[in-house]
Structure 1
Amino acid sequence: MNGTHINDRALLKGKTALITAAASGMGRAGARLFAAEGAHVILVDLNTAGAEEVAAEIVAGGGSAEAHGVDLRDQTELDRFLDTVRSQHDVIDVLHNHAGITGPRELEFDAASWNECMTLNAWVPAYLTQQFLPLLRRSDAASVIFTASTAGVRGVAGLPVYAATKGAVIQFMKSLSLLLAPEGIRANAICPGGTDTAGMRAAFQEGAVDASLSAIATTIPLGRVGQPEDIATVALFLASDASKYMTGTVIPVDGGATV
């Protein structure tokens, strides 16, 4: 999609959606799709220039967006960002907690690497949800979306710390969904499988990216790795009234890999 063409029957018309890690990959695809469906998108990313580029692209295409460069791991910076959003917006209709890192491999963790991974993957989405709850409560149909992972529902030998954080996210989401259901605020989680993003490609040895992706594809029943847009379309579904009777759900988007 070049630019942003607003759908005449937009699913998110008039809504405000905040997406973390929105400068690239799945977050970027989600931001562009949400904007195309009529939302004002608040893009948040450590990569300030990248977030601004996506926001400018959305605006140039007729959409509505703003960008914020934030290191979500820095509590002072995170709190400053919260104050900024609360001063500029009265309501948030969709909160997509997407930011995360892979963290240390196997058992090569120490206190610092464990805490960094747990902070960004589990603390930040929980804290953002808690702090933005007053704005979510002003929405007629608030939706909180968490990007978990298939690693949160099955063991991953190479990434036990990452898997632990994603398992925590899923259980937080489920408990949150029960807590907020009486208020009509929904909470759901997406569990992406192997998805072709810059971050995934960076994990492979130089010159072996295509071969690595092909090898992963052979383990997936649908025969291919995911694309960022595959995740974005499910996020749109959860953000919109199309899923208005769904809360507390965990949706694998993995080509059947967890089957």
Structure 2
Amino acid sequence: MKNLKDKVAVVFAASGDIAGAVAQSFSQHGAKVYVTARNLDAVKALAREIKAGGGSAEAAKVDALNETEIDLFLKKVVSDHGKLDIVFNGIGADYSEMGGRPPTTTATFEQFMAPMERICGSQFLTSRVAAKYMMQTQSEGTILLLTAALSRSKMPNLAGITAASAAVEGMTRVMAAEWGGNGIKVICICPGALMETKRISGWINAFAKEHEIPADQLVMQYKAFDILKTSPTLKQVGETAAFLASETGTVFNSHVVDVDCGKLNIL
């Protein structure tokens, strides 16, 4: 089903696994997709893959933490198409970018703020620039943000990224309230820890090495909270994003949508 036929979609931080899956689904549902990241080679490869599957995609180098680059790129997209229908930002933080997992009593202010600036800051920038162009063109589009279930779980030594994840969810509700009068929908996607992603496997392996714990033990501890015997896949996350960006997905405006098959440890 082509739920997004003739829509113009921009995916930021598309070199990541989740954003790549979202871009694939947008394309499969009929959208013209622009995939951007600081790693141009990675998004060029993604664009080639989308085209090989019969979709439409173009790649560009854009730093999702640089407002000038974001603005110039979205300005060009709007100039080429006269509208902007969908924006998704898949930015995340690697273990090293979080400064590891120091206890809150010993973490520096810089370590605490690093995930806030990278994750919440980037979502703030891409969302507000996208909203500006959607208002100018009366696109009545959809802005999709990404958060993590850490926002509502209780895990030690993760103050910075937990605070950043909660901040993204709060910002989603504020933006939806501000821009709803212009027909702009703002929705936040919250996937569970996807074991097939390089970021989550990297987190697990780095933590296991640092604390001399078997990586398999950490995976088992996380999966012990699964309600079902199955876990979400990247494809399911992508399909959920495509649904939320469709006309039917409008009913979830301002909401945080969990994509985790249900977890007992998530509020």
Q: Give the structure-1-normalised TM-score.
A: 0.86
230-239 or 213-222: bigger deviation: 213-222
Query: Where does 1:133-144 land on structure 2 (aligned, <5 Å)?
Result: 133-137=131-135, 138=137, 140-144=139-143
Query: Which residue of structure 2 lines up, in the alignment, with residue 255 of structure 1?
Result: 261
Query: Which residue of structure 1 lines up, in the alignment, with residue 227 of structure 2?
Result: 221
Shift of 1:209: 5.0
String of CA shifts for 1:24-44, please: whole Å, max 9, x gaps: 311111111110111111112
Query: Which residue of structure 2 lines up, in the alignment, with residue 3 of structure 1?
Result: none
Shift of 1:217: 2.0
Query: Where does 1:97-246 land on structure 2 (aligned, <5 Å)?
Result: 97-102=89-94, 103-104=98-99, 105=101, 106-107=103-104, 109-137=107-135, 138=137, 140-196=139-195, 197-205=197-205, 212-246=218-252
Q: Note if contact 1:93-1:139 (Cα within 8 Å) is conserved in structure 2.
A: no
**1:159/1:225 Cα in 2 relative to 1: closer, same or farther (>3 Å)?**
farther
String of CA shifts for 1:212-241, please: whole Å, max 9, x gaps: 434422221113443212221221111111
String of CA shifts for 1:162-209, please: whole Å, max 9, x gaps: 010011111111011111122211111111112121111112338955
Q: Note if contact 1:213-1:225 (Cα within 8 Å) is conserved in structure 2.
A: no
Query: Which residue of structure 1 lines up, in the alignment, with residue 72 of structure 2?
Result: 83
**1:210/1:28 Cα in 2 relative to 1: closer, same or farther (>3 Å)?**
farther
Q: Give ranges in structure 2 of 5+ residues lacking alignment.
A: none
Alpha-carbon distance in structure 2 between the residues aligned to 1:211 and 1:155: 18
Alpha-carbon distance in structure 2 between the residues aligned to 1:114 and 1:44: 27
**1:208/1:36 Cα in 2 relative to 1: closer, same or farther (>3 Å)?**
farther
Aligned to 1:144, the other structure's residue is in SS state strand
1:96 maps to 2:88:
yes
**1:84/1:177 Cα in 2 relative to 1: closer, same or farther (>3 Å)?**
closer
Alpha-carbon distance in structure 1 between the residues aligned to 2:62 and 2:110: 20
Aligned to 1:23, the other structure's residue is in SS state coil
Alpha-carbon distance in structure 2 between the residues aligned to 1:46 and 1:110: 27
Q: Give the structure-2-normalised TM-score.
A: 0.84
Q: Note if contact 1:217-1:224 (Cα within 8 Å) is conserved in structure 2.
A: no
Between Structure 1 and Structure 2, the one with more helix by share is 2
Alpha-carbon distance in structure 2 between the residues aligned to 1:47 and 1:208: 32
Which amino acid letter does the alignment assign opposite residue 232 of structure 1? G
The aligned length equals: 248
Q: What do you get for the CA RMSD once the two structures are aligned?
A: 2.2
Alpha-carbon distance in structure 2 between the residues aligned to 1:229 and 1:31: 10
Which structure's relative contact order is higher, taking Cα pairs within 8 Å and 6+ residues apart?
2
Which amino acid letter does the alignment assign opposite residue 30 of structure 1? V
Query: Which residue of structure 2 lines up, in the alignment, with residue 5 of structure 1?
Result: none
Aligned to 1:114, the other structure's residue is in SS state helix
211-220 or 163-172: bigger deviation: 211-220
Alpha-carbon distance in structure 1 between the residues aligned to 2:13 and 2:214: 26
Alpha-carbon distance in structure 2 between the residues aligned to 1:155 and 1:229: 27
Which amino acid letter does the alignment assign opposite residue 44 of structure 2? E
Q: Percent identity?
A: 21
Alpha-carbon distance in structure 1 between the residues aligned to 2:113 and 2:223: 32
Q: Give ranges in structure 1 of 5+ residues lacking alignment.
A: 1-8
Alpha-carbon distance in structure 2 between the residues aligned to 1:38 and 1:208: 43
Shift of 1:81: 4.0
Aligned to 1:245, the other structure's residue is in SS state helix
Q: Note if contact 1:216-1:225 (Cα within 8 Å) is conserved in structure 2.
A: no
Which amino acid letter does the alignment assign opposite residue 183 of structure 2? G
Aligned to 2:167, the other structure's residue is in SS state helix
